Amino acid sequence: MSTSSLPDIVYMLIFFFMITTSMRDVELKVKTALPKASEIAKLEKKALVSSIYIGPPRDAKLGTESRIQLNDQFARPEDIADWVLQEREARNEADRPLLTTALKVHKETRMGIVTDVKQELRKVGAFRINYTTLKGSALEN
């Protein structure tokens, strides 16, 4: 059997994956089992989305209390303002008003920390937010 066309086939697969996917941006340090919702919209334009992760740490030694993760590290609510400014700086000027903050929050997290994050976002003027969820019935949560 001739295998001379095998590399070409595999290269085609590579190109397919290169085009359809985006690089995984961060290493998750917190668990984010998302809640379910039905009235959801697709998050368009991934380049204009920056994510805040909130959930209990994966490392059991750090306890079970939910923590905030920005980029690659744990953060406090006070750090969010600076982070938003950095995220804005990284986009070109025309895109900045369209920047959306996706909140990827573990379902068992208490609302206190989420409220703090939302208040910080309001202070710095990042009004567009998205509660990232899975598809499903919200009554099952």
Partner 1 sequence: MAKKTPEINSSSQADIAFLLLCFFLMTTAMDVDYGITRRLPPPVEQNVDDVKVKERNVMNVLINKNNKLMINGRPSDISLLKEEAKHFMTPRPSDETAPEVETKSIEMLGDVLMSKGVISLQNDRGTSYAMYISVQNELARAFNELKEEMAWRHFHKHLDQLNEDQTKAIGEAVPVRVSEAEPVEK
What is the spatial distance between Cα 111 and Cα 118, in angstroms, rounded to a whole number?
A: 10
Question: Is residue 50 part of the contact set for partner 1 (CB under 8 A)?
Answer: no
Question: Is residue 60 part of the contact set for partner 1 (CB under 8 A)?
Answer: no
Cβ atoms 26, 87 nearer than 8 A: no
The distance of closest approach from Cβ of residue 74 to partner 1 in the complex, given in angstroms and rounded to an integer, is: 18
What is the spatial distance between Cα 130 and Cα 41, in angstroms, rounded to a whole number?
A: 9
What is the spatial distance between Cα 26 and Cα 98, in angstroms, rounded to a whole number?
A: 22
Question: Is residue 78 part of the contact set for partner 1 (CB under 8 A)?
Answer: no
List the one residue from 65, 72, 82, 108 that touches partner 1 (CB under 8 A). Answer: 108
**Greatest extent of the chain over all pairs of C-alpha atoms, in Å:** 67
The window from 42-50, 57-65, 70-78, 83-91 that contacts partner 1 (CB under 8 A) reads 42-50
DSSP state of 39: S
Bridge pairing between strands 100-105 and 49-55? parallel
List the one residue from 1, 17, 89, 94 that touches partner 1 (CB under 8 A). Answer: 17
Question: Is residue 59 part of the contact set for partner 1 (CB under 8 A)?
Answer: no
CA 17 to chain CA centroid, Å, is 21
Nearer to partner 1, 22 or 92 (CB): 22
Binding site for partner 1 (CB under 8 A): 3-4, 6-7, 10-11, 13-14, 17-18, 20-24, 35-43, 46, 49, 100, 102, 105-112, 114-115, 118-119, 121-123, 125-135, 138-139, 141
